[in-house]
């Protein structure tokens, strides 16, 4: 059980709730803060003073005061009119992450909502209600308005309570109206009161949700990239001196130092390394710490930004001591957009250098006398194509990544009659980085698959070969699911199996277990 308090939610907790269904509840401290902020909102309403987002219109209509008896209609209209997203629905894990982040934001006690609203969000998570959220239509400022409004459609209602105005949700594997899903789960839908509509849909919450999961996935991919590099290094009879700690300490970059150290750990005990008279390796091997190391540092930076964002108050206005309502711009998704662009660029380099190693493994002029395209025997070349086409796929994904990595946060168009004249485009940046992550996982699967085949051939040709402790664990993990096939075969499903081993963290777990046993 994860207890949310508005200030200590972690990226890994988000991943567990989003992908493993871990339960959550609201802390007593957070409940008290929410009660206090709600009292401030009620006081503002009673005084009749115009305060943006509480008793005024929204955006360009901020100067229009709304009477107290129209408050419910104001909030209902906002959710209905803002639910205009388009595109394929977001995956359920993204939706779950967003619901959790939004609940955590409101739990900080700056938003003026009722505890009932936060508790409803948590009940939706705990009982498996997943609103259908279109993936496109958000500028990331004023937050992810359209996606969050689609979320609000499912949990909120009005006096008429019409099924056709309740959005859609997934419940127990079936899609149905939001009203039906909430009824089947036994969760009452609520009529939004003053401030609650804008508190629900203001903030770059879906951007942050995708970003949080991206950071978790990227951390796993960087560990896999060290393993795939190490396997390729052994298969290509590489030179270990390029990873000497003295070289990397002389440059002082911590990520570079860490990657070089990890490669030496993974390949410890290998009889394939340093077994030739070569002087140095190609850049894709020799300079891998200098390429993959900085990406680790970028991930650390991005994770820090996103960790702050998931524990931030991001709607507008915010309420402070004695009920002072201050209007600002914490909903602006620029921090998320910028770091997602940065992380997407960095991961594009991980895929790019991995593809270069796949190319070397398959080129008979560059792979240290292995058969061209890694056909089983030299004489099979021509009759069999070997690993020719997996390298094509890797190259295609790398090229796609390069297009996806074009920064999105630098793009802006004004909205709301130029009242909102600079937008973050954070949702697009996060979505593109998520696609880069998926592409990169596939490229790494191709490298692992190709390197494992190359190692099979090395082991056959060089008797008594010993692989490194870590690389052997990864090799055995792959071969337990995908046995070696001598001739051409349907490689695609087998590569997909290796990709699954990456995503489920089975390969990294096998390597970590081997490390602990030494």
Residues labelled catalytic: 52
What is the Rg, in whole angstroms, of the alpha carbon atoms belonging to the chain? 26
Q: CB-based contacts of 344: which residues, under 8 Å, 6+ apart? A: 401, 404, 405, 429, 432, 433, 436
Bridge pairing between strands 134-136 and 86-89? antiparallel
Q: Could you tell me if 496 and 490 are in contact, meaning their C-beta atoms sit under 8 angstroms apart?
A: no
Bridge pairing between strands 324-326 and 318-320? antiparallel
Q: CB-based contacts of 308: which residues, under 8 Å, 6+ apart? A: 335
DSSP, collapsed to helix, strand or coil, labels residue 186 as coil
Q: CB-based contacts of 52: which residues, under 8 Å, 6+ apart? A: 62, 316, 317, 325, 327
Cα torsion at 486, 489, 493, 495 (round to 10°)? 50
> Considering only CA atoms, which of 219, 220, 63, 89 is closest in space to residue 146?
89
Q: Could you tell me if 187 and 131 are in contact, meaning their C-beta atoms sit under 8 angstroms apart?
A: no
- What is the C-alpha to C-alpha distance for residues 106 and 10, in angstroms, rounded to an integer? 16
- Angle of helix 491-503 versus helix 469-481 axis, rounded to 10: 130
Cα separations (Å) of 83 from 66, 87, 153, 464?
A: 21, 13, 8, 65
Distance of CA 49 to the CA centre of its chain: 42
Cis peptide before 242 (omega within 30 of 0): no
């Amino acid at each position: 059980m994860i207890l949310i308090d508005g200030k200590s939610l972690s990226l890994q907790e988000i991943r567990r709730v989003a992908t493993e269904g871990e339960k959550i509840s609201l802390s007593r401290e957070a409940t008290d803060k929410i009660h206090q902020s709600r009292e401030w909102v009620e006081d503002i309403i009673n005084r009749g003073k115009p305060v943006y987002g509480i008793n005024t219109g929204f955006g360009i209509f901020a100067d229009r005061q709304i009477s107290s008896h129209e408050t419910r209609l104001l909030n209902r209209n906002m959710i209905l009119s803002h639910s205009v997203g388009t595109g394929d629905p977001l995956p359920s894990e993204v939706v779950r992450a967003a619901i959790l982040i939004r609940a955590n934001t409101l739990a900080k006690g700056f938003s003026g909502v009722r505890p009932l609203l936060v508790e409803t969000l948590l009940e939706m998570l705990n009982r498996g209600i997943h609103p259908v959220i279109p993936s496109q239509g958000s500028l990331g400022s004023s937050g992810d308005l359209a996606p969050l409004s689609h979320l609000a459609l499912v949990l909120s209602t009005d006096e008429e309570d019409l099924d056709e105005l309740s959005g859609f949700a997934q419940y127990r594997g079936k899609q149905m109206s939001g009203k039906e899903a909430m009824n089947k789960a036994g969760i009452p839908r609520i009529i939004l009161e003053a401030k609650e509509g804008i508190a629900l849909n203001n903030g770059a919450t879906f951007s942050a949700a995708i970003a949080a999961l991206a950071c978790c996935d990227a951390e796993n991919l960087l560990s896999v990239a060290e393993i795939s590099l190490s396997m390729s290094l052994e298969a290509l009879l590489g030179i270990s001196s390029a990873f000497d700690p003295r070289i990397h300490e002389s440059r002082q970059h911590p990520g570079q130092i860490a990657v070089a150290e990890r490669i030496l750990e993974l390949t410890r005990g290998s009889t394939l390394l340093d077994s030739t008279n070569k002087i140095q390796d190609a850049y894709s091997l020799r300079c891998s710490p200098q390429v993959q190391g900085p990406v680790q540092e970028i991930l650390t930076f991005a994770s820090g930004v996103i960790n702050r964002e998931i524990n931030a108050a991001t709607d507008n206005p915010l309420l402070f001591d004695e009920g002072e309502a201050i209007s600002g711009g914490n909903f602006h998704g620029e921090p998320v957009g910028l770091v997602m662009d940065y992380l997407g660029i960095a991961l594009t380099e991980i895929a790019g250098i991995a593809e270069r190693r796949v190319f070397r493994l398959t080129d008979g002029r560059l792979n240290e006398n292995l058969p061209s395209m890694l056909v089983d025997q030299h004489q099979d070349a021509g009759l069999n194509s070997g690993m020719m086409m997996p390298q094509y796929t890797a190259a295609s994904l790398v090229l796609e990544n390069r297009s996806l990595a074009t920064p999105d946060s630098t793009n802006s168009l004004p909205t709301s009659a130029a009242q909102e004249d600079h937008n973050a485009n954070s949702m697009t940046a996060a979505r593109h980085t998520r696609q880069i992550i998926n592409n990169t996982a596939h490229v790494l699967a191709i490298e692992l698959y190709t390197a494992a085949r190359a190692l099979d051939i090395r082991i056959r040709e060089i008797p008594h070969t010993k692989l490194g402790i870590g690389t052997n664990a990864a090799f055995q993990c792959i071969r337990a699911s995908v046995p070696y096939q001598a001739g051409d075969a349907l490689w695609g499903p087998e590569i997909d199996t290796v990709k699954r081993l990456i995503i489920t963290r089975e390969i990294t777990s096998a390597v970590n277990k081997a490390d602990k046993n030494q």
